[in-house]
């Protein structure tokens, strides 16, 4: 039997649906995957065998570029961070958490700001300021209003070709609504914001990759909050592109931009070249990582 190479496009109830040359093969994982502690993910490139479209077996999961936990997807190229300007209110802290996580995974971020037309001018965060700040760092920022949502979606879809894209962002920011507008065929369940909790209800289940605009888009919006369970403190400064640029002039090679003397990052924060909010969030994330309880894995009996 010939070995085939394809990509997992959907995982459901123990079956893995592998795409190859216009056909989708229903496969199961070999029992030794569990023994080897391997969990195939949507987005994985795999070697499989099959005599027909419904009775295949996964033989090998090929090395991944990266993987996400929520949603469980591998080999992600692009992360669209959907942030609302109001209801829920915009959060620099949460946006920076998403950006740091994507940088750490080697995923290109695109920032998509929703509900910009609902601002009444009294909000502490102005759209133009947020857009300018992140574009200065080098991140694409797309602003969507009700009147210009089609234009914003067109702008966003330019990033999709040849990429595997995942959506993430605040609960209640409109991730599922946005995905439905991009592809009405998806018919994603959109959650109503729970007013008592102020959080969006979870409305998503398994993950499937949908071909869109010559690329693939995960039909399941990702996490709405992030903690840094996997990252080491020494890696955190490397996830802030403007810190990396400035750190070339720091006195110490492994400068953590905290208490060290002659730190270029702190100097640029004082001068206003690096945004104060970014630096404050960096210090908060650093404290979270350093105060994190160690994770002890149980020994196997």
Would you call 121 exposed, middle or buried from its count of C-beta atoms within 10 A (0-12, 13-18, 19+)? Answer: exposed
| Residue 144 is labelled as binding a ligand | no
2 annotated to bind ligand: no
User: CA Rg, the chain, in Å?
Assistant: 21
Does 206 appear as a known binding residue?
A: no
The answer to whether 257 is annotated as binding is: yes
The answer to whether 281 and 236 are in contact (CB under 8 A) is no
- Whether residue 71 has a cis bond before it, omega within 30° of 0: yes
* Residue 202 assigned ligand-binding role: no
Count of CB atoms within 10 A of residue 272's CB? Answer: 8
Q: Is 169 annotated as a binding residue?
A: yes
The pair of structure tokens assigned to 275 is 């945004």
Q: Which two tokens stand for residue 158?
A: 């330019």
- CB neighbours (10 Å) of residue 89? 14
172 is in an annotated binding site: yes
**Does the annotation list 250 as a binding residue?**
yes
**Does residue 233 have a known ligand-binding role?**
no
Are the CB atoms for 14 and 37 separated by under 8 Å? no
Nearest to 233 by CA among 122, 142, 141, 104: 104
Residue 174 assigned to a binding site: yes
176 is in an annotated binding site: yes
The pairing of strands 78-84 and 108-114 is parallel
235 labeled part of a ligand binding site: no
Instruction: Determine whether the annotation assigns residue 54 to a binding site.
Output: no
- Is 299 annotated as a binding-site member? no
Q: Is 246 annotated as a binding residue?
A: no
The closest alpha carbon to 108, from 181, 160, 179, belongs to 160
| Binding site members | 114-117, 169-177, 250, 255, 257, 263
| Binding site members for Zn(2+) | 250, 255, 257, 263
């Amino acid at each position: 039997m010939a070995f085939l190479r394809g990509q997992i496009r959907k995982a459901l109830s123990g079956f893995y649906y592998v795409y190859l040359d216009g056909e989708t093969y229903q496969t199961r994982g070999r029992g030794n995957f569990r023994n080897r502690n391997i969990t195939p993910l949507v987005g994985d490139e795999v070697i499989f065998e099959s005599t027909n479209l419904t009775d295949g077996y996964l033989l090998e999961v090929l090395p991944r570029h990266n993987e996400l936990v929520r949603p469980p997807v591998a080999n992600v190229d692009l992360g669209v961070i959907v942030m609302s300007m109001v209801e829920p209110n915009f959060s620099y802290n949460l946006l920076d958490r998403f950006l740091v996580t994507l940088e750490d995974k080697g995923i290109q971020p695109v920032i998509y700001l929703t509900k910009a037309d609902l601002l009444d001018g009294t909000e502490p965060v102005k759209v133009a300021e947020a857009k300018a700040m992140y574009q200065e760092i080098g991140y694409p920022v797309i602003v969507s209003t009700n009147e210009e949502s089609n234009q914003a979606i067109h702008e966003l879809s330019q990033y999709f070709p040849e990429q595997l894209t995942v959506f993430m962002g605040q609960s209640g920011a409109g991730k599922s609504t946005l995905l439905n507008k991009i592809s009405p065929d998806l018919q994603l369940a959109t959650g109503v914001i729970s007013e008592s909790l102020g959080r969006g209800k979870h409305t998503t289940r398994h993950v499937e990759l949908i071909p869109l605009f010559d690329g693939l888009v995960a039909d399941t919006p990702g996490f709405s909050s992030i903690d840094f369970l996997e990252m080491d403190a020494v890696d955190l400064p490397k996830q802030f592109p403007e810190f990396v640029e400035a750190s070339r002039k720091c006195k110490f090679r492994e400068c953590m931009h905290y208490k060290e003397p002659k730190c270029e990052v702190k100097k640029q924060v004082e001068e206003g070249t690096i945004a104060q909010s970014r630096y404050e969030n960096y210090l908060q994330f650093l404290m979270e990582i350093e105060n994190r309880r160690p994770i002890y894995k149980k020994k196997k009996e």
